[in-house]
Structure 1
Amino acid sequence: MLRGLYTAASGMVAQQRRHDTITNNIANLNTPGFKGSNAVNRSFPDMLISVMGGANPKEGSIGKLSTGVFAEENLMQLTQGDLQQTYRNQDLALVSDMLVDGVNFDESGKSIDANGQVTYKPQAFFSVLSTNGAEEYTRDGSFKTAADGTLLTADGLSVVGANGQPIVVNVSWDQVSVSGDGRLLDKSTGQPLAGNPQLRIMRVDNPYLLVRQGDGLFRYAGDPAGIRQIAAGDRVDVRQGYLERSNVDAAQSSVDLMAALRAYEANQKVIQTYDRSLEKAVNEIGRV
């Protein structure tokens, strides 16, 4: 009987974590470039009750028994967010539709071949310098300019140029035009600005190897060969005067939030039922 209590309790914890993930998504509905997350629930490792039929639990006399559910991880949703026009020259948005030869991706940006090999759709990110000087990545292009002309993120981090150094613009941004590949040009002449500045836009082959750092920043934790600066033909476009909105679906998040609440209540009632049964066993049957 106690196994049922543990199973229901683990279900409550899993739904609580799912609830936390959804509320975080909703809280960032208006955060530029925010990528929502999905809570992934999986069963605990199977408990082997009998191995009389061999090493495979399915061949045993009883089989396998799961001991509940576990909120194992949160997976990002890396779909493109809608663009919102701001008419502000320092607001930049990335539109990427990168392809991999011979691979067709589904709507979530994933492809599974006949052998079960998973391929993820590459994504593009702006490169910035974190407070400790490490290179990190973001989709939030709501930039601003420091007094010395350094291009900064909304949180004051330096935006990195193609040369690996912070971008410095010594003219008014009213005179700056940003090309589709991230080059900063003089709006009146169409010529590059002094120093030929260009945004450092990175292609990440497997964006699920990015680790959230908070404030819309990501750290890459994969093989260095899996990340590089974009090249010609990568199908990445920079849009000036736009911001990428959060890709969170408000309506679906509301439905998921209610589903998590109902599942939590169901597990709670299971625990209450077990509690009443144990009470009867102790107070009534125990007297006999």
Structure 2
Amino acid sequence: MDRLVYTAMTGARHVMEQQATVANNLSNATTTGFRAQLDTFRAVPVVSEGLQTRAFVVDSTVGADMRAGPIQTTGRALDIAVRDQGWIAVQSADGSEAYTRNGSLKISENGLLQTTSGQTLVGDGGPIAIPPDTTVMVAGDGTVSTISTDFKPGPANVLGRIKLVNPDPKGLVRGDDGLFRQLSGTPAENDPAVRVVDGALEGSNVNPVDSMVNMISLARQFEMQMSLLKNAENNAAKATQILALS
């Protein structure tokens, strides 16, 4: 009985963890630039004196679905979407460099170009400062320029270039703040091949229909594990009755 209980318990616990991941993905189905989280598990055979007919479920690695989401046109000058592969470099709360696909930008009270979540964008020469009373434009290569709105329009004033990177997806890990970082901890190199689309945002790559189907499938798997635990309880009760008769 104990063997069956522990085997079914590991399966049920990890099914619940998968349900939590699917629920988190589903709640971010409309989050700009969100990458769906993927759980990976593996079966480990239980080594014993008998036949290796049992296996426990253990965590393997937690990754992310790196497929690009749909690009939606907004017409807003401070909205940019990364085309195909690539990331926008930002400065996280602890000062380290992190990466995001959320290109919804704003100008902070101090005049710095930031994401709407409050992370300052990293430029070629550091943070990009936007002067007041100007119209901001972002080119396809990430170059940020402005035109004054106080006087007669003149030539654009180039302020800098947003750092766009394209590191190996296998070397990226998602942090608790939702931003991605390199496993090595070192900043990624600037990639001039990464392009952005202005006046647009990238949507989440979560498919709500697939997530709902996955949740139903996981619920059925959890019920199966609970049935195994119920069978173990019944077997123990029957064994107790037989021993009492003898």
For the criterion TM > 0.5, the same-fold answer is yes
**Equivalent pair of 1:212/1:218 in contact (CA under 8 Å):** yes
Amino acid at match of 1:199: I
Does residue 67 in structure 1 map to residue 51 in structure 2? no
Match of 1:257 in 2: 215
Give runs of aligned pairs for residues 16-55 of structure 1, distance below 5 A: 16-44=16-44, 46-49=45-48
Amino acid at match of 2:25: N
Give the whole-Å Cα distance in 1 for the aligned partners of 2:61 and 2:13: 13
**Equivalent pair of 1:181/1:237 in contact (CA under 8 Å):** yes
Runs of 5+ consecutive residues of structure 2 not aligned to the other structure: 148-152
Aligned identity (percent) is 29
Match of 1:93 in 2: 81
Q: Deviations over 1:130-180 (max 9, x none)?
A: 1221111111111111123201122222111012x111111556x222111
Q: Deviations over 1:222-265 (max 9, x none)?
A: 3859x31112xx3x221111111110011111111100000000
Amino acid at match of 1:133: G
Does residue 84 in structure 1 map to residue 56 in structure 2? no
Q: Deviations over 1:67-106 (max 9, x none)?
A: 222243322100011011222111111012xxxxxxxxxx
Q: CA RMSD of the aligned region, Å? A: 2.1
Distance 1:180 1:74, change over 3 A: same
Does residue 180 in structure 1 map to residue 180 in structure 2? no
Structure 1 residue matching 2:42: 3-state secondary structure:
strand
Does residue 170 in structure 1 map to residue 131 in structure 2? yes
**Equivalent pair of 2:78/2:137 in contact (CA under 8 Å):** no
Amino acid at match of 1:168: A
Does residue 156 in structure 1 map to residue 144 in structure 2? no
Does residue 137 in structure 1 map to residue 99 in structure 2? yes
**Equivalent pair of 2:71/2:81 in contact (CA under 8 Å):** yes
- When the two structures are superposed, what TM-score results if normalisation uses the length of structure 1? 0.77
Distance 1:93 1:216, change over 3 A: farther
**Equivalent pair of 2:63/2:173 in contact (CA under 8 Å):** no
Match of 2:173 in 1: 211
**Equivalent pair of 1:124/1:201 in contact (CA under 8 Å):** yes
Structure 2 residue matching 1:214: 3-state secondary structure:
coil
2:90 equivalent among 122, 125, 128: 128
Give the whole-Å Cα distance in 2 for the aligned partners of 1:189 and 1:81: 37
Amino acid at match of 1:34: F
**Equivalent pair of 1:48/1:65 in contact (CA under 8 Å):** no
Give runs of aligned pairs for residues 197-276 of structure 1, distance below 5 A: 197-205=160-168, 207-222=169-184, 224=186, 227-231=188-192, 234=193, 236-276=194-234
Total equivalences in the alignment: 241
Runs of 5+ consecutive residues of structure 1 not aligned to the other structure: 51-61, 97-122
**Equivalent pair of 2:46/2:56 in contact (CA under 8 Å):** no
**Equivalent pair of 1:41/1:70 in contact (CA under 8 Å):** yes
